[in-house]
């Protein structure tokens, strides 16, 4: 399943209302570490194949959502389940660590 690109319009439907675990990558185009994280995110989305939602949120295009999650540095990765935050990490995070985060949200 491809990565979902979150916006103000689809955030509630995709991230809050989902009964599946949700991994959100808060990123920005100009952020070099975010570009490194992006390839891991893409791989994970393919690997999970719909068992969890893997999403990206551009903090420059959606600053109010980034503010709601108190994102101070990017990349920031957050896992959610049923609209509640389960875990979060800041900085480039390995595939293995992201899988642990997703599994803790199941």
Domain extents for the chain? 4-104
Per-residue pLDDT of the chain (106 residues), as tens digits, is 799 999 999 999 999 999 999 999 999 999 999 999 999 999 999 999 999 999 999 999 999 999 999 999 999 999 999 999 999 999 999 999 999 999 999 8
Q: Say if residues 26 and 75 touch (Cβ distance below 8 Å).
A: yes
Please tell me which residue in 4, 34, 65, 74 is annotated as part of the active site.
34
DSSP 11-56: HIIIIIS-SS-EEEEEE-TT-HHHHHHHHHHHHHHHHHTTSSEEEE
39 noted as active-site residue: no
Cα distances (Å, whole numbers) of residue 102 to 21, 24, 46, 90, 94: 6, 10, 14, 15, 12
Strand partners, 24: 55, 78
pLDDT of residue 11: 97
What is the topology classification, in CATH, of domain 4-104? Glutaredoxin (3.40.30)
pTM over the 0.85 mark: yes
31 noted as active-site residue: yes
Please tell me which residue in 28, 31, 92, 99 is annotated as part of the active site.
31
pLDDT of residue 1: 79
């Amino acid at each position: 399943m491809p990565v979902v690109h979150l916006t103000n319009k689809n955030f509630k439907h995709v991230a809050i209302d989902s009964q599946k675990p949700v991994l959100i990558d808060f990123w920005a185009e100009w952020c070099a570490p975010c570009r490194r994280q992006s390839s891991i995110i893409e791989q994970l989305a393919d690997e999970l194949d719909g068992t969890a939602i893997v999403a990206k949120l551009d903090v420059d295009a959606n600053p109010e959502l980034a503010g709601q999650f108190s994102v101070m540095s990017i990349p920031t990765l957050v896992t959610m389940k049923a609209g509640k935050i389960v875990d979060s990490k800041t900085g480039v995070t390995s595939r293995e660590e992201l899988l642990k985060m997703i599994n803790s949200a199941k």
